Structure 1
Amino acid sequence: MVGLLWWIGAGVLVVLELIHGTFYLLMVALGFVAAALARLAGADLTLQFGIAAVVALAAVLVLRKSRFGRKTRTRAEAARNPDVNLDIGSTLVVPAWHAGHARTSYRGATWDVELSPGEPEDANVYEITALRGNCLVVVASRHAVRT
């Protein structure tokens, strides 16, 4: 009966994994499968629990080291991600700067603009590198003509 519970537990974890969308429950399900196989091999209940724990822990550690366990994008990176903010990479004209800050018209609206550190204020055309709230962070465009 205990062996059947290992298989049912593994099945439930796989279904929950399909709903949840991460691989961690699948790794725990692998531990359940290992315990069920240990039961078939004649291991006692204490050893089955130990095998389930060790296999699940090892699988989770291997997953964390793999590319599937790493976070690919954090919330801070979303401000610079052109897949999230379609304005990143666009160019705009900033007529005048005041200590690295300006206001300019972009796509029919007035925006706050902030110059990235180390960038010159004498370029006419700037490229958007990030959005921070309603503020466009810009660098001098490589294609800009200096005045």
Structure 2
Amino acid sequence: MINRITNDIKKALLNKQKEELLVLRSLKSALKYIEIEQKKELTEEESIKVLKNQVKSREQAIELYIQGNRPELAEKEEFEIKIIKAYLPEPLTEAEMETEVTKTISELQAESMKDMGKVMKALSQKLGTRADGKILSNLVRQKLA
């Protein structure tokens, strides 16, 4: 992931894309910081989690900028999110998640809310970072209720 971002930094430098360059450098910095903190190279999955956190923090900033009547800053954050999402795997649709939830519940023979933890663990192992945890949790609750 860091290699891909580094290559894109070089391209942005050559093409004089200043805004994109700033975002890419901040992403590389965030990934390197976590690597140094953990004293090991990040796996692809760990890198994706870091990037998702970057998106989440920018989404929170957008909400604050909109509340503070600063639409120009909110637009800047949206631009940054667009760049970051280019590095994330294609997320599953809600329909795909619902299919996986139904399949996992039947495989585990889960019948009540007591089994929710077991179902969520299996789903998170199966779907990894491609699925939104909140949506998965809501779907599992609906099916087990």
Asked if TM exceeds 0.5, the reply is: no
Structure having the higher Rg: 1
Q: TM-score, normalised by structure 2?
A: 0.29
More strand by share: 1
Q: Normalized per residue, which structure has more helix?
A: 2
The answer to which structure, 1 or 2, has the higher relative contact order (CA under 8 A, 6+ apart) is 2
Normalised by the length of structure 1, the TM-score is: 0.29
